[in-house]
Amino acid sequence: MTHAKDLVLACYARWDGVGRPFAVVERATPRVPGRGELLVRVDMATVCGSDLHTVSGRRSSPVPGVLGHEQVGTVVGVGEGGVLCVDGTPVAPGMRVVWSVISSCGRCDRCARGLSQKCRGLRKYGHEPLLEGAPLTGGFASHCVVLPGTAVVAVPDGVPDEVASPASCATATVAAALAATGPLADRRVLVTGAGMLGLTAVAMAVTAGARVVAVDPDPLRREQARMFGAAEVLDGAIPPEEVDVALEFSGRSSAVRVCLDSLGMGGTAVLVGSVAPDDPVRVDPERLVRGLNRIVGVHNYRPEDLLTAVEFLAAHHDSFPFADLVEGRFALGDVGSAFEAARLRAAPRQAVAPGCVLPM
């Protein structure tokens, strides 16, 4: 028999499809989850661009579902067998953590090749169909059940929730993109798209010793790029001079074209933003070959990239205005308003505090 003290009253914001309001649903869940699982109280979740695309119908996602995959939380319970952080530290109740956007099996051919983010048995937080018996699969909830095969990283106390929450998507994805470039010291780096990922890339590249050129048509974003360390900012009307590395985060074909055309000898273009259909981009194979250029696609990230992301934020969040990129603190019952604020692009991220069920 399960006693009340062994249960936690959780709640989640159920998404019922495009154009329909979110509904807050309560559910009792075991304080100690299944083997290899964690029960984590979500302290803050942020609205990512892909969440916006889902709610607007631009991205396909199961209905009903629990959205949200950028969050930071506190461990409530650890399942039998225990769970280790990426660095080998045992996870314990009370530990503040972020976790990967995916869980992977660790056994398939893709996992064996180091492509766990494309595991054949992949589960993706915030993008799973809602199961009545196991609904806590997204960040817009008071609690989340973290599955076996999920990368978990402890977050130092000095890192604010507003800074830590985007680590599990935006910051870790940027860490993966920079890992594909090689050393950046004394290299000229182009960043196209100065949203959450682009601004993070500017800061990480500058910290690595690069001279960064940021391109964005929005004057506010260009000013933010300067605050994050960009040496030059452009609106895209004038092509940048040759660069050693081009990082593309906007997803626009025109920006991809700028990145490819700007590569100097031995240059590398890393494409991150192209996760939705757009116009094809022509590649000149002769220029690619003679220029010794590389084009790399990065989607999601590896466990070590999440660790790199948290370590970077812990070491440098005081040097850059990361906290200013997150606005709001919406209650779970007002998550629809968080999406409306995100559509207005007042800031790259809007925050939801799921512990607050009703609007404050």
pLDDT digits (tens, 9 = 90+) for 14-66: 999 999 999 999 999 999 999 999 999 999 999 999 999 899 888 888 999 99
Q: What is the pLDDT of residue 359?
A: 45
Q: What pLDDT does 360 receive? A: 35
Residue 114 has pLDDT above 50, yes or no: yes
Q: What is the pLDDT of residue 4?
A: 61
Question: So what's the pLDDT on residue 238?
Answer: 87
Query: Model confidence over 168-217: pLDDT tens digits?
Result: 999 999 999 999 999 999 999 999 999 999 999 999 999 999 999 999 99
More confident residue, 355 or 97: 97
Report the predicted TM-score, pTM, of the whole model to 2 decimal places: 0.95
- Biggest CA pair distance of the chain: 71
Is residue 240 predicted with pLDDT exceeding 60?
Answer: yes
- Render pLDDT for 289-342 as a digit per residue (tens, 0 to 9): 999 999 999 999 999 999 999 999 999 999 999 999 999 999 999 999 999 999
Q: Six-digit token pair at 191?
A: 């960043």
β-strand pairing of 23-30 with 211-215: unpaired
Distances in Å between the Cα of 307 and the Cα atoms of 85, 147, 165, 179, 298 are 9, 18, 13, 13, 17
- pLDDT winner (highest mean) among 5-9, 49-53, 285-289: 285-289
pLDDT above 90 coverage of the chain, percent: 89
CA–CA gap between residue 151 and residue 304 (Å, rounded) = 8
- What pLDDT was estimated at residue 273? 95
Q: Residue 33 and residue 93: Cα distance in Å, rounded?
A: 12
Which backbone phi and psi does 244 adopt, to 5 degrees?
A: -85, -35
Percent of the chain with pLDDT over 70: 98
pLDDT given for residue 3 in this prediction: 58
How confident is the model over 261-285, as a mean pLDDT? 95
pLDDT score of 357: 53
